[in-house]
Amino acid sequence: MNASDFDVVVIGAGPSGSATALALAARGLRVGVAERSAFPRDKVCGCTLDPRAVAALERLGLASTLAALRPVALRHVRIAARSRGATLPLRGTLAVSRTAFDAALASAAASAGAHVATGHAVLGITREGGGFVVARAGAKAWTARAVVTAAGLADASLSQPSVVDAQARIGVAATLDANSAAFARDELRMWVGADGYLGVARLEDDRVRVAAALAPAAVRGDIGAALDRVLADAGSPWRLPRGVTFRATPPLTRTRGAVAEPGLFAVGDACGYVEPFSGEGIGWALLSAELVTPAVVAALAGDARAHRDYDANWRSRVGAHRRAAERLLAWSRHPRWFAAALTAIRIAPPLARVWMPT
Ligand SMILES: Cc1cc2nc3c(=O)[nH]c(=O)nc-3n(C[C@H](O)[C@H](O)[C@H](O)COP(=O)(O)OP(=O)(O)OC[C@H]3O[C@@H](n4cnc5c(N)ncnc54)[C@H](O)[C@@H]3O)c2cc1C
């Protein structure tokens, strides 16, 4: 299928899609990126970059792109549950709006040679003539020799759908005015309650980013009121301003049987996801982009095992981080235990390493 429009079509221009497109284009491949939203666009996220995400950006040659966004350096996280709290140091964690971050990554992919087309959703992919036809809403279909799906939680490209965890919570987020809270610029604040948890950090323009994971029943009513209940449960005097509009996600925690098939690879949240308690999703997304790049190159060169090798690699490299995040998440589901753990950490700070992966 040499007459295809692209060697590789990447579906989605979030961090995993743009990083994959950038890396593949830098290897001389013809890369098309199909993104449904017009950019810049927001994404439900806490907007923190953990040290692994920052290191991955450096390896991708994006250190100066990140610095140009003037991210906020977070020095510590203050966590509270049931009126008990602990402060843990953070080293190398940054906060930056997803509006600016994702636009910068998509633009870096375009500068590396990828053709980035925003505003047209991918409707479906079909196998044809040894390659793929990628149908797009309101735009010409693209043909490609391989496809990387980076479409996030709602991805439906792989033949086995992701399986949603029975206890999966819903993600919500909003950005508040700078004066809505009195938190310091270098601190991440988190509160854990029975219905979920909530995190707050300042963005590069000083506005306050609020992101949370809530039980589905809590999201059905007034989200602001549900978040205030989490704050009250945790013993915080701070309350959200009234009238804030929150954006929400589909259920978060989910797993996939396989993250690749012949010629078709998933990256980032499309591989499955664990709730954002430890704020590592972007790091996992960028790591999967690094892992998929040689696999796609091998598949295009005729290696029939490339998708299996990627699947195994992803499970051992990203899967290990996910298991650590799941352990932390399990504690957060029990505010009483979690509060006891915070007390233990206050007494013996090294214990934090048991719960906090970074
Ligand atoms: C409440 C919450 C808080 C979080 N906080 C953090 C945090 O602080 N730090 C952190 O590292 N991670 C955090 N995460 C996780 C992080 O947001 C994700 O892991 C990360 O965005 C995954 O990147 P991605 O590129 O795989 O997917 P996404 O960022 O979801 O990007 C997917 C892209 O695909 C596009 N798309 C979807 N369907 C189609 C289609 N059919 N056609 C074309 N395009 C399509 C979307 O428009 C989007 O641009 C949080 C998540 C939630 C829900």
Mean pLDDT of the region 282-311: 97
pLDDT score, position 351: 75
Residues 104 and 31 in one domain: yes
CATH code of the domain containing 295: 3.50.50.60
Mean pLDDT confidence for 164-188: 94
Q: Let me know if residue 57 belongs to a domain.
A: no
Q: How far is the CA of 111 from the centre of ligand 1 (A)?
A: 22
Q: Ligand 1 pocket, 15 CB below 6 A?
A: yes
Mean of pLDDT values over 249-263: 93
Round to whole Å and give the CA distance between 103 and 109. Answer: 10
Spatial neighbors of 126 by CB under 8 A, at least 6 apart, are 132, 133, 135
User: Which of 142, 191, 269, 271 gets mutated to test ligand 1 (max ligand atoms within 8 A of its CB)?
Assistant: 269
Q: Does ligand 1 lie within 6 Å of residue 272's CB atom?
A: no
Q: Is the pLDDT of residue 358 over 50?
A: no
Query: Which range among 136-145, 147-156, 323-332 shows the weakest confidence by mean pLDDT?
Result: 323-332
Q: Does residue 286 line the site of ligand 1, with CB under 6 A?
A: no
The DSSP letter of residue 2 is: T
Structural domain contains residue 81: no
Q: Would you place residue 16 in the very low, low, confident or very high pLDDT band (cuts 50, 70, 90)?
A: very high
* Domain match, 247 and 311 both: no
Q: What is the mean pLDDT of residues 173-177?
A: 97
101 and 145 belong to one structural domain: yes
Does 78 reside within a domain? no
**pLDDT tens, residue by residue, 85-130:** 999 899 999 999 999 999 999 999 999 999 999 999 999 999 999 9
What confidence score (pLDDT) does residue 1 get? 46
| 37 part of a folded domain | yes
Task: Please tell me the least confidently modeled range out of 38-47, 98-107, 143-152, 340-349.
Answer: 340-349
Q: For residues 39 and 102, is the Cβ–Cβ distance under 8 A?
A: yes
Is residue 323, in this structure, part of any structural domain at all? Answer: yes
Question: Same domain, yes or no, for 281 and 147?
Answer: yes
The average pLDDT across 36-44 equals 96
Asked if residue 298 belongs to a domain, the reply is yes
Indicate if 265 and 246 belong to the same structural domain: no
Residues 340 and 195 in one domain: yes
* 42 and 105 share one domain: yes
- Å from CA of 43 to ligand 1 middle: 6
Cβ(279) to ligand 1 under 6 A? yes
Phi-psi region for residue 75, left (φ > 0), alpha (ψ -120 to 50) or beta?
alpha
Say what the pLDDT of residue 295 is: 98
What pLDDT shows up at residue 227? 96
pTM for the model: 0.95
For residue 45, pLDDT over 50 is answered with yes
On the question of pLDDT at 2 being above 60, the answer is no
Where residue 345 falls among pLDDT bands split at 50, 70, 90? confident
Q: Whose CA is nearest to atom 9 of ligand 1?
A: 279
103 & 39 share domain = yes
216 shares its domain with 303: no
Report the chain's C-alpha Rg in angstroms: 20
Q: Is the pLDDT of residue 352 over 80?
A: no
234 and 185: one domain? yes
| 206 CA distance to ligand 1 middle (Å) | 22
Residue 73 to residues 39, 70, 110, 114, 245, Cα–Cα distance (Å): 25, 9, 28, 31, 27
CA of 212, closest atom in ligand 1 = 1
Residue 354 clears pLDDT 90, i.e. is over it: no
* Residue 86 in domain: no
Domain count within the chain: 2
Same domain, 216 and 301: no
Mean pLDDT over residues 226-255, rounded? 94
What number does the ligand 1 atom closest to the CA of 271 have?
26
Domain that holds residue 206: 170-251+331-355
Who's near 203: CB < 8 A, 6+ residues apart?
47, 72, 95, 96, 97, 175, 209
Lowest mean pLDDT among 9-13, 124-128, 143-147, 277-281: 277-281
Mean pLDDT, all residues of the chain: 93
**Number of helices and strands in the chain (H, E):** 10, 18
Is 234's pLDDT higher than 70? yes
pLDDT band at 204 (very low <50, low <70, confident <90, very high): very high
Q: Is residue 264 situated within a structural domain?
A: yes
Lowest mean pLDDT among 230-244, 266-280, 337-351: 337-351
Q: In which band, very low, low, confident or very high, does the pLDDT at 357 lie, cut at 50, 70 and 90? A: very low
Residues 118 and 44 in one domain: yes
Looking at residue 178, what DSSP letter applies?
A: G
